[in-house]
Amino acid sequence: MVGKLLRALLGLVLLLVGFAGFFTCAATTVDYPVVAPQEGVQAWPRGAFHVHTTRSDGKGTVEEVAAAAREAGLQFVVLTDHNDFGPRDPSFVNGVLVIPAVEISTSTGHVVAFGMQKPLDGARARQEGVSAVEAAGGVAVLAHPVQKKNPWTDREAARRARGFELYSADTFFRDAVRNPFSRLIPAVGAWFSNPVHGVMVLVTPQPASTEWLLELTREQPRLAFCSHDAHGWPPYRDVFRALAMYLPPTALPEPLSTEPRTAAAQVVRALSGGQSLCAFRGLGEPMGFALEGPLSGQREAWVGDTLTVRLPPHEPGQVRLEVSGAGRLGPDGTTVELVTEGAVQIEAWVQAPGRFFGSEWRPWIVPSPIRVLPRGSGG
C-alpha cells in the first residue's frame, strides 16, 4: 500500500515537473522587451515602490535590495517595511537612492505611507491608518486594496487616501497561487529560462481594482501606483526588471540631486504630484508617452473635452489604448472623448507573449486617472 502511494506521488511530481518544463523550454523562444527600445532618447528616472527588507518580512538587506535595484537599472527604491516606525534618513546605497517609508498594518487593511513631514506615532498609525498619515503630513496609499488575503475594508477611510495601488506584483503572485495550473506553474517554469517572462506572465488585468479607483476619483484626484510589494521571491532584481514607477519631465523637471535628502524630496514631490506613471518595463520603456489636451495640473478635465494620447514608437497593431470609465476611445485609436461626469483611466496595453501559445494583451503604461467634471464647473 505504501509502495503504491509513493509511486503515485512520484508520478504526480514527475508530471508537474514535466508540465513546468514545457514552459521552461517555451520561454527560451520569447524575447523582451516587446516594444523595441528607442535610440538616442534620454531615459526617465525610474524606481521601485513598496519594497520589504529583513527589517520586516523581506529576504534581503537594504544593501542587497539596493544592489538588485542597481542591476535592474533603477535610480531609487521606496522601502516600506511593515510597521517600521523608527526614524531613518534617505541615503544613497550602492548608487541607488533609498527612501524610507512604511507599510502600516491596521484592522481594516494595509496603508503605505511616504513623505511624512513629522514622525508617525506607531500606535496611532496602526489604530487610525489614513488619518494618522494625514496628520503627519504624508501621503497615504491603499496597499493591494482588492487583494483577497489583505483587502482594504474601510470604504470611508478609502475616500481620504490620496493613493491607490492599482496593480500589485504581490497580488499577481497570490492570484497565481490560487490558480496553480493555469498561472503559477507556467510562471515558475518560464522563470527558470527567462526570468522577466516568468514575472510578466503573472500580470493580469485588475477590473475590480480599476472600478474602485474610478469610484474614488469621482470625488477628488487620486494617485495610481504599480507596487512591487517585493519580498525577495520572485527575486528582487527580476521584479524590478519587470515594472517600475517613472518620473517624466512633467513630474521631475530637474536632474535628481546627489544630496540624499534633496533627492528624496524630489522623488516624493514627483510621486505625489500626479504626473508620475508606471510602466511594465519588461514590455518596453515609456519615454514619449503623454496625455495631451485641456487637462489641469490636478488631472481634471471636463465633459466634452477630447484628449490625445501620444505613444512611444511601436509596430502597427502592437499597442492599443484601454479606456475605462467616463471616456470613449475614438476611431483613430489615439483620442479619448470625455462623455460623462466621473473619472477615466487611460492605459496603453501591449500584445505580449502568452502563457501557453500566441499572445495576450497586457497593461504596459499606466498613468493616474483623470477626474471628469461637468461642463461649467470651471472648464
pLDDT digits (tens, 9 = 90+) for 11-64: 444 444 444 465 777 667 788 999 999 988 999 999 999 999 999 999 999 999
The conformation of residue 127, written as its DSSP 8-state character, comes to: H
Say if residues 234 and 191 touch (Cβ distance below 8 Å).
Answer: yes
Peptide bond into 316 cis (omega under 30): no
pLDDT at site 13: 41
pLDDT at site 21: 62
Q: What are phi and psi of 341, to 5 degrees?
A: -65, 145
Read off the C-alpha cell for 130. Answer: 489614513
Number of H helices, E strands in the chain: 11, 20
Calpha distance 92→107 (Å, rounded): 34
Secondary structure E strands in the chain: 46-51, 76-79, 91-93, 96-100, 102-106, 109-114, 139-142, 163-168, 223-227, 244-246, 277-279, 290-292, 300-302, 306-310, 319-325, 327-329, 335-338, 342-353, 359-367, 370-373
pLDDT at site 3: 60
pLDDT at site 183: 87
Calpha distance 178→101 (Å, rounded): 30
Instruction: Show the domains of the chain with their CATH numbers.
Output: 2-287 (3.20.20.140)
The conformation of residue 82, written as its DSSP 8-state character, comes to: B
Read off the C-alpha cell for 327. Answer: 471616456
Best CA proximity match to 51, nearest among 76, 21, 31, 81: 81
Calpha distance 26→110 (Å, rounded): 38
Q: What is the mean pLDDT of the chain?
A: 91
Mean pLDDT within 209-226: 97
Best CA proximity match to 144, nearest among 50, 13, 54, 259: 50
pLDDT digits (tens, 9 = 90+) for 282-321: 999 999 999 999 888 889 999 999 999 999 999 999 999 9
